[in-house]
Amino acid sequence: MEYINIFIKSVFVDNMIFAFFLGMCSYLAVSKTVKTSAGLGIAVTFVLLITVPVNYLINKYLLSPGALAWLSPRLAEVDLSFLSLIMFIAVIAAIVQIVEMVIERFSPALYNSLGIFLPLIAVNCAVLSGSLFMQERGYANIGEATCFALGSGVGWFLAIVAIAAIREKLRYSAIPPALRGVGITFIITGLMGLAFMSFMGVKL
């Protein structure tokens, strides 16, 4: 039950885009058509789903205060948490590279459709913040962290597909010339954010 709560909460209440504005750069740049944005959404979900549990283990057994106690009792006082940023980003960059090579080897069709987006995911703030939020919120076990990662990814996917669908329709609207493109996308995202705020008080 706890798992479902965390999943629903991270999809709707703590939505990466509408509640924290994370991953906005690619969200604004790639959301021109539904097809490409769905591809990017799936790729981000996939990378989150792998990196957050890996970083959870690294955080738990290497970085957090006293984490090295399993090696030897003398190391129980070591606190390496100042290294977490570098560790997390290195893990993410490495995993994105591996995922890219694996997809290229086993599914060239998927690789071609994702092609350019895959390497860019390494610098997508939604992915790094997935790991940082996981560390900050202190999930009890790896299952909870995985549910959180899946939920954040699905929430990001929903947001980018929704805005892409709206932008496809917007092409036929009369928008003031200065507001066309980026300007109106910002304002619509703001309005969607207001709508998503109605989930805020939801207690699960």
Partner 1 sequence: MMKSKNWKLITLPFSKQNPITVQVLGVCSCLAVTAQLKPAVVMALSVTVVVALANLIISLLRKTIPPRIRIIVQLVVVSMLVVLVDQVLKAYMYDVSKQLSVFVGLIITNCIVMGRLEAFAMSNPPLPSLMDGIGNGLGYSVVLVTLGFVRELFGSGTLWGYPVMEKLGLYNIGYENNGLMIMPPMALILVGIIIWIHRTRNQDLQEQ
- Name the residues that contact partner 1, by CB under 8 A: 18-25, 28-29, 82, 85-86, 89-90, 93, 119, 122-125, 127-129, 132-133, 136, 176-187, 189-194, 197
Q: How far is the C-alpha of 43 from the C-alpha of 157, rounded, in Å?
A: 9
Residue with Cβ nearer partner 1 (1 or 86): 86
Residue with Cβ nearer partner 1 (32 or 60): 32
Element (H, E) at 28: helix 24-30
Is the Cα dihedral 45, 147, 69, 82 positive or negative?
positive
Question: Quick one: DSSP state of residue 73?
Answer: G
Residue with Cβ nearer partner 1 (26 or 45): 26
Contact call for residues 87 and 109 (beta carbons, < 8 A):
no
The first and second tokens of residue 134, run together, are: 């996981």
Nearest-Å Rg of the Cα atoms of the chain is 19
Cβ of residue 185: shortest distance to partner 1, in angstroms? Answer: 8
Cβ of residue 16: shortest distance to partner 1, in angstroms? Answer: 10
Contact call for residues 128 and 92 (beta carbons, < 8 A):
yes
Cβ of residue 109: shortest distance to partner 1, in angstroms? Answer: 25
Cβ of residue 115: shortest distance to partner 1, in angstroms? Answer: 16
Residue with Cβ nearer partner 1 (109 or 195): 195
Residue with Cβ nearer partner 1 (65 or 70): 65
Q: How far is the C-alpha of 54 from the C-alpha of 127, rounded, in Å?
A: 13
Cβ of residue 72: shortest distance to partner 1, in angstroms? Answer: 27
